[in-house]
Amino acid sequence: MSHQRMSGRRGALALATVMAVSLVFVGRLVDVQIVRAAELQEQSLQVRTTSETLWASRGSIVDQFGNDLALDVDRYDISANPSKVGDFRRAGEVVPLAQAVAEIAQVTGANYDEMLSAVSVDPTAQFTYLVKGVTPQAKDALRELDIPWLQIDLIRERIYPFGPVTANLTGMLGRDEPLGGVELSEDECLMAQNGFATYQQGADGVRLPGTTTLVEQPIHGGTAHLTIDSDLQWYVLQQLAEHGGRLQAQQASAIVVRVNDGHILAAADWPTFDPNDFTDAPPEHMGARTFSAPYEPGSIMKSMGVAMLIDAGHTSVSDRIVAPGVYTIGSGRFIKNMHVSDARQLTTAGVLQTSSNTGMAVLGERMPQQQAYDYFRAFGFGEKTAVDFLGESRGVLKTPENYDPFTRFAQLYGQGISVTAVQMAGAYQALANDGVRLPLRLYDGCTTSLGEFIEAPVAEPIQVVSASAARQTVNILETVVTQSALRPVLEIPGYRVAAKTGTAEIASASGYGSERVISLAGMAPAENPEYVVLVSFYKPQTSKVSSAAAPAFTDLMSHVLKHYRVAPSSEPAVVPPLTW
C-alpha cells in the first residue's frame, strides 16, 4: 500500500517536471517564432545576406567609322575570405591551401608568396584581394579550378586601343572620374550608373543558389561619336614624330580638315602620352596643343590678309606696288623682309608669293583698323572654334583701340596676333570653301544606351570674304608651289596644290629671340579644294626656316589625297603676274 503511494507520488512529480520543462520550451518557442520572430529574422538576414555591384559599362568613344578609341572591357577581381580559406576536397582528393594558391598564381601570373600571405596573415579577416583585373580567359581558368573559397567579381576597365595616337583628343579616365579630353567634355553622354543586387551565403561563405535579388538595374553609358579618322590620325602622328625628330623640334602639331563640312579628320600632337598608363607622363605632353597652345603664326597669316584686302576692294591680284627693303613706321620702328633688303616691284600676287612683309605693310595702309579687326574676327581669330574643346584657347587678337602703329601692319603678316593651330586651319577652310567658314566639328553626337542618336549642335556658317576673293587668293597660293624654290618639295604629281609657308619668331618677356615656329598650310586640289592640311613645328633646331616644314606637309597631303581617293586635277593653273 505504501509502495503504491510512493510510486504515484513519483509519477506525479515526473509529470509535473515534464510539464514544467515543456512550458519553458513552449515559451521559448513562442518568443522565437512569434514575439521576436521579425527581429531574429532580420538579424539572420543581416548575417547571411551580401550585396554585389552590378557594373555598368561606361560608353565608348568612337571615330567616324565606329572604331573604338576608348571603351570598357570586362575584367575580374579575385578575392577570398581568409576565415573560410583552407584545405578542401576536389574530385575525392584533399587539396592543400598551398597547392590552391599555387594554381591561382599559375593561372593569373600573380605572386604566390604575396597571395599566400594575404590569406594567412589574419585568419579572422573577412576579406582580402588576391589579384585584380584578370582577363575573361583567366577567369574561366580559375572557375575550372573549382576552389570553393575563391570569389570572382566582375569589374570594368577603361582601355584605349589606339593608345597615344588619339590620347590628345580622348583624354583619359582616372580612378573615379574623367580627367581630360572628350572623356571629360562628353561625360554626360558616356557616364554609366552601376546597379546592385543581394544574395545569401551559407556558413562556408558560398553563394546560395536561387537567392539573388536585383535591387537596382545598371544603366550603361552612351557612345560619343567623333569625326576623326583613326587610321589617318595614326599616319599623321607617325609623320610628326619622323619629321619632328629630324628637325629636333620640341613639339609638333598637324590638322586635316574636310572642306565641305568642316569635319576635323585628324588633329595630332607630338610628343604625346599613353592614356592606358599616364602616371609618369610629362604634363606638357598631355592635352591637345592644337586647341590649347596659341602662337604667333607668321607668314601663313598673309593669305587671310590678302583675301580681306581683295574682298574690301583695297587691291587686286595684279595691282602694282613697290615693296621697300625697309618700311619705316616712325619712332625708330621699322618692318623688313626676311631675305630681301632691296625694294621690289611686285603685284599683290607677288607680295603673297614672295611673302613680302613690307609689301603687306604698303597694302595694309589702305585698310582701316576697324575693318581689319572685323575681318580677323570673321575668320575666327580671337574666339574659340565651334569645337569648344576642353581647355581651348581664344588666342590673342587686339581690339583697334589697343593697336599701336606696329601691330596694325604686323597682324597682316602674323605678328602681334596669336592663334591656335585649329583656328588657322579653320581660316584656311574658309578660303578653300569659296570664302565660307564652316564651324569646325570634332564631336558629332551621342548615341544613348537606348539607341537614340542626339546630334551635337551645329553653328551657322559665315561668309568671311566673297567667293571671288577666296578663289583669287587660292590661285595666288598655287604659285608658292609652282613658281618658287619649294616647287620640287611641294609639288604632288597629278594634283594642283595651294600652300603658304610661315616662320614666326617666338616672343618672350624681353622681346623676340632666336627660337621659331615654322608652319605650312595649304589645300588640294587647288581648283576645287577638298582637304586642308596644316603642320607646324615648335622650336626646331636643325633648321629654323619655314621651308623645313615642306616635306612634312607634302607627305601628309599626298597621303590624304590617296587615302580618300581624290581624283587628280584636270584643269591647268592660271599663273597671275607676280612682278612688273
Dump pLDDT digits (tens) for 346-380: 999 999 999 999 999 999 999 999 999 999 999 99
Average pLDDT over residues 489-510: 91
Average pLDDT over residues 460-467: 97
284 strand-pairing partners = none
335 strand-pairing partners = 327
Q: Is the peptide bond before 96 cis (omega within 30 degrees of 0)?
A: no
Residue 22 has pLDDT above 70, yes or no: no
Interhelix angle 112-120/97-108, nearest 10 degrees: 140
Locate all alpha helices (DSSP H) within 32-87, ordered by sequence.
Answer: 37-48
Side chain identity at 473, as an amino acid letter?
A: T
Average pLDDT over residues 507-528: 90
Confidence (pLDDT) at 514: 86
Q: Give the pLDDT confidence of 530-575 residue by residue, as tens digits.
A: 999 999 999 999 999 999 999 999 999 999 999 999 999 988 999 9
Residue 28 has pLDDT above 70, yes or no: no
Confidence (pLDDT) at 333: 82
Average pLDDT over residues 39-51: 60
Confidence (pLDDT) at 209: 75
Closest CA to 172 of 287, 57, 271, 292: 287
Residue 295 has pLDDT above 90, yes or no: yes
Q: Are 259 and 530 in contact, with CB atoms under 8 Å apart?
A: yes
Side chain identity at 542, as an amino acid letter?
A: T
Residue 577 has pLDDT above 60, yes or no: yes
Place of cell 575573361: 136
DSSP string, 83-117: GG-S-EEETTEEE-HHHHHHHHHHHH---HHHHHH
Give the separation between CA 396 and CA 378, rounded to whole angstroms: 14
Cell of 259: 572642306
Mean pLDDT, rounded, of the chain: 90
DSSP string, 243-256: HHHHHT-SEEEEEE
Q: What would you measure as the largest C-alpha separation in the chain, in angstroms?
A: 158
Q: Are 536 and 519 in contact, with CB atoms under 8 Å apart?
A: yes
Cα dihedral 115, 116, 118, 120, rounded to 10, equals 170
Average pLDDT over residues 20-43: 57
Using CB atoms within 10 A of its CB, is residue 566 exposed (0-12), middle (13-18) or buried (19+)?
middle
3 state SS of 397: coil
Q: Give the pLDDT confidence of 397-422 residue by residue, as tens digits.
A: 999 888 888 888 899 999 999 999 99
Give the separation between CA 153 and CA 139, rounded to whole angstroms: 9
- What percent of the chain shows pLDDT beyond 70? 90
Residue 1 has pLDDT above 60, yes or no: no
Average pLDDT over residues 264-272: 97
Confidence (pLDDT) at 407: 85
492 strand-pairing partners = 495
Q: What are the Cα distances from residue 140, in Å, to 129, 146, 289, 317, 332?
A: 18, 11, 44, 73, 80
Place of cell 620640341: 250
Confidence (pLDDT) at 174: 86
pLDDT category, 292, cuts 50, 70, 90? very high
Q: Are 255 and 533 in contact, with CB atoms under 8 Å apart?
A: yes
Cell of 371: 575693318
Cα dihedral 372, 376, 377, 380, rounded to 10, equals 170
Q: Are 578 and 354 in contact, with CB atoms under 8 Å apart?
A: yes
201 strand-pairing partners = 207
More confident residue, 191 or 211: 191
* Residue 25 exposure: Cα atoms within 13 Å on the Cβ side: 6
pLDDT category, 330, cuts 50, 70, 90? confident
What domains lie within the chain, and their CATH numbers?
Answer: 54-226 (3.90.1310.10), 230-563 (3.40.710.10)
- Tell how strand 462-463 and strand 436-437 pair up: antiparallel
DSSP string, 515-532: EEEEEEEEEESTTS--EE
Confidence (pLDDT) at 14: 57
Give the separation between CA 347 and CA 362, rounded to whole angstroms: 12
Residue 207 has pLDDT above 70, yes or no: no
Confidence (pLDDT) at 49: 77
Closest CA to 419 of 480, 460, 371, 377: 377
Contacts of 427 (CB under 8 A, 6+ apart): 303, 304, 379, 380, 381, 437
Q: Give the pLDDT confidence of 75-127 residue by residue, as tens digits.
A: 999 999 999 999 999 989 999 999 999 999 999 999 999 999 999 999 999 99
Between 143-157, 333-347, 391-405, the lowest mean confidence (pLDDT) is in: 333-347
Contacts of 193 (CB under 8 A, 6+ apart): 56, 218, 219
Confidence (pLDDT) at 338: 77
How distant is the alpha carbon of residue 464 from its chain centre?
Answer: 30
More confident residue, 511 or 481: 481
Residue 63 has pLDDT above 60, yes or no: yes
Average pLDDT over residues 501-522: 88
Contacts of 544 (CB under 8 A, 6+ apart): 503, 514, 515, 516, 518
- Tell how strand 223-226 and strand 61-62 pair up: parallel
Residue 334 has pLDDT above 90, yes or no: no
Average pLDDT over residues 467-487: 96
Confidence (pLDDT) at 27: 57
Average pLDDT over residues 173-194: 91
Residue 29 has pLDDT above 70, yes or no: no
